[in-house]
Amino acid sequence: MEHSEIDKKLESIEARIKNLEKKKKDFWDIFQSLTTILIPAAIALAGYFISNGIKKAEIKVAETNAKVAQAELVNKFMPSLTSTSTVERSLAVGAIVIAIPGYGAEIAHNVVQNDTSESVKLAARSSLNKRLLQLISDLFSDQASVRTVAYSEVIQGWKSDTLLVKHLLKFAGSRQSNSNGIYNSVVVLNAVDIQSLLQYKDSILQFLDKAKERGPKTKSLAVQVRDRLDRL
């Protein structure tokens, strides 16, 4: 895919979003349409960056543009996220976890900690868990671009969540033959906050002993994770 093709796709996306706004659709119609447009585009662009070895400077520009787009999308969600209706807040937090990879999870975690409604907190935690399980599954995908996008979102949104370690160990434990997935699991364990590892230290050590058998690269990284745990 050439740069001109990427530019054309982005222009098409911008035109479709502007068209949605002109039609004055309600919040949920806009959200559904945006996720249909943006999520496949994000995956396609990630695959393009990886397969074409795009320069770091260009990636930085793309990341900056993505953050700007995220901020604009968050602004669209704010009326529903701050609504007096608990139902609307619950729906909004579930939508934002999907619509804004990584950052949406950060917002949802904030809702879990600070919202005044227990039902909204429960809805936020449920949305976070559902998305997390999908991302963990994606870490074991046959497609490198899918694995890369999943890793980035997991670390941004769940780096300090102990449930990440719990679900990751359970999923990886039944898929020991998937070398890419096991390697990615060790990469994640090496990147999460050290405090998130404490509760599952023994289980992690058992997992690392088996993970080392998946190859020298995985073994080397497993040693790093074990060293982190030994320093506790």
Model confidence pLDDT, tens digit, residues 52-111: 555 566 656 656 666 666 667 767 877 888 889 999 989 988 988 988 888 889 889 999
Residues 6+ apart with CB under 8 A from 200: 162, 165, 166, 169
Same domain (yes/no): 141, 79: yes
Gyration radius of the chain over CA positions: 19
Using the 3D structure, point to which of 158, 183, 211 is the last residue of a domain.
158
The boundaries of the domain holding residue 192 are 160-232
pLDDT at 21: 47
**How many other C-beta atoms are found inside a 10 Å radius of the C-beta of residue 7?**
10
Same domain (yes/no): 113, 154: yes
Considering only residues 98 and 11, tell me which one the structure prediction assigns the higher pLDDT: 98
Same domain (yes/no): 116, 194: no
pLDDT at 51: 53
Retrieve residue 95's tokens: 């939508």
Retrieve residue 150's tokens: 């999943």
Same domain (yes/no): 213, 144: no
* Of the candidate ranges 18-22, 105-109, 156-160, 188-192, the one whose mean pLDDT is the lowest: 18-22
Using the 3D structure, point to which of 105, 127, 158 is the last residue of a domain.
158
Considering only residues 216 and 10, tell me which one the structure prediction assigns the higher pLDDT: 216
Residue 220 has pLDDT above 80, yes or no: yes
pLDDT at 119: 94
Same domain (yes/no): 184, 133: no
Residues 126-175: tens digit of each pLDDT: 999 999 999 999 999 999 999 999 999 999 899 999 899 999 999 998 99
Q: Where are the alpha helices (DSSP H) in 82-143?
A: 86-99, 103-114, 118-138
Residue 16 has pLDDT above 70, yes or no: no
Residues 24-52: tens digit of each pLDDT: 445 555 455 545 444 555 555 555 555 55
Half-sphere exposure for 41 (CA within 13 Å, toward CB): 20
Same domain (yes/no): 169, 133: no
pLDDT band per the 50, 70, 90 thresholds, residue 2:
very low
Give SS3 for 115. Answer: coil
- The DSSP letter of residue 1 is -
pLDDT at 37: 45
pLDDT at 187: 94
Using the 3D structure, point to which of 134, 158, 182 is the last residue of a domain.
158
Same domain (yes/no): 168, 123: no
Give the count of domains, the chain.
Answer: 2
Same domain (yes/no): 114, 96: yes
φ/ψ (deg, to 5) at 117: -105, 125
Same domain (yes/no): 230, 179: yes
Same domain (yes/no): 121, 219: no
Same domain (yes/no): 35, 145: yes
